[in-house]
Structure 1
Amino acid sequence: MALNQHPQLDELDLQILDLLIKDSRTPYLEIARICHVSGGTIHVRMKKMEEMGIIKGTRIVLDLPKLGYDVCCFVGIYIDRTSSFRNVFEELSKIKEVVELHLTTGDYSVFAKVICKNTTDLQDILLNKINVIDGIQRTETIISLEQPIDRNITI
């Protein structure tokens, strides 16, 4: 179901989400002014959407290279058997450099986004943290050279 077709969301909810997608730091009172409603209405609507699980929190966006994390890569992971999935997920969740994990169709069982400092760091993560996990048959790594698009979906 598309977000704008959610039966419990109305046009005001969608307008609030649109404003927050553009700038998640927009104060509730500013959103209220733009939407021509009270600040209390915005607060109630936000709480409703959080309780519905539509809004799952807020995040700060970091400039990772400025913090010394120069390598972003994607690791396609082949898991040897279905019974290994849970263990593999649990072990990968302990590796701080694994920032996303996706169960996928296609060639890989799992696709992980990994952020690290350099290729030496990446080699250590692959050899000593990821490939040693029981249940992982093998991996394939793709290094990202640039990220020309980085956006949230619009509604």
Structure 2
Amino acid sequence: MVDELDARIIEIFSSDPKMSVLEASRTLEVARATVQARLDRLTARGVVTGWGPHLSAEGIGYPVRAYCSLAIHQDSGHDAVAEALSGVPEVLELHTVSGEFDLLACVVARSNADLQRVLDAVIATGTVVRSSTVVVLNSLIPPRALPLVRSAAGEGRP
């Protein structure tokens, strides 16, 4: 669980990842050692997973995003498919799922026409039997986690 101070620490570093621990401690009005210990604990527990730059596929020149439901060769296994698909740079995410399909992949492309090349590359791995693809038209809520942090800390509860 995260408490209110954890949530405030996460929020302040999410808004300014370059902020120093000392500056954060002054802003939050808590000891520097407290902020550092909380960050260390949040990292060790897997709540905070990194501090790198957030990249935009659109900004790199890949404005088309699609989700592909994939049925795989059952004798290949999920790990072999994941390894094969990791060789396709446009595959941004891959998840095992329940239901009719085995995997869900998030892919990007330079254009709708380029999406066909990406899908062909996925199929060319030889690990996918069939796929079904939906193209994202507009993203109404971008990837986020801060509302979960606030809710877990009790701030978002009624």
Same fold (TM over 0.5): yes
Q: Is the 8 A contact 1:85 1:135 kept in 2?
A: no
1:149–1:40 Cα change, 3 Å: same
Q: TM-score, normalised by structure 1?
A: 0.81
Structure 1 residue 24: Cα displacement: 4.6
Is the partner of 1:58 in helix, strand or coil? coil
Is the partner of 1:14 in helix, strand or coil? helix
Specify the alignment match of 1:124 in structure 2.
117
1:56 aligns with 2:49: yes
Q: Distance in 1 between matches of 2:48 and 2:55?
A: 20
Q: Is the 8 A contact 1:74 1:113 kept in 2?
A: yes
1:144 aligns with 2:141: no
Is the partner of 2:89 in helix, strand or coil? coil
Q: Is the 8 A contact 1:101 1:112 kept in 2?
A: yes
Q: Is the 8 A contact 1:19 1:26 kept in 2?
A: no
Q: Is the 8 A contact 2:69 2:133 kept in 1?
A: yes
Structure 1 residue 41: Cα displacement: 2.2
Structure 2 unmatched ranges of 5 or more: 150-158
Q: Distance in 2 between matches of 1:114 and 1:24?
A: 28
Structure 1 residue 40: Cα displacement: 3.0
Specify the alignment match of 1:86 in structure 2.
79
Is the partner of 1:94 in helix, strand or coil? coil
Is the partner of 2:71 in helix, strand or coil? strand
1:96–1:24 Cα change, 3 Å: farther
Q: TM-score, normalised by structure 2?
A: 0.79
Indicate the larger mover: 33-42 or 99-108: 33-42
User: Cα RMSD over matched residues?
Assistant: 2.1
**Equivalent AA in structure 1 for residue 39 of structure 2:** M
1:133 aligns with 2:130: no
**Equivalent AA in structure 1 for residue 119 of structure 2:** L
Specify the alignment match of 1:32 in structure 2.
25
**Equivalent AA in structure 2 for residue 139 of structure 1:** S
Specify the alignment match of 1:3 in structure 2.
none
Q: Distance in 1 between matches of 2:13 and 2:51?
A: 10
1:118–1:49 Cα change, 3 Å: same
Q: How many residue pairs get matched?
A: 146
Percentage of matched positions with identical amino acids: 27
Q: Distance in 1 between matches of 2:118 and 2:133?
A: 11
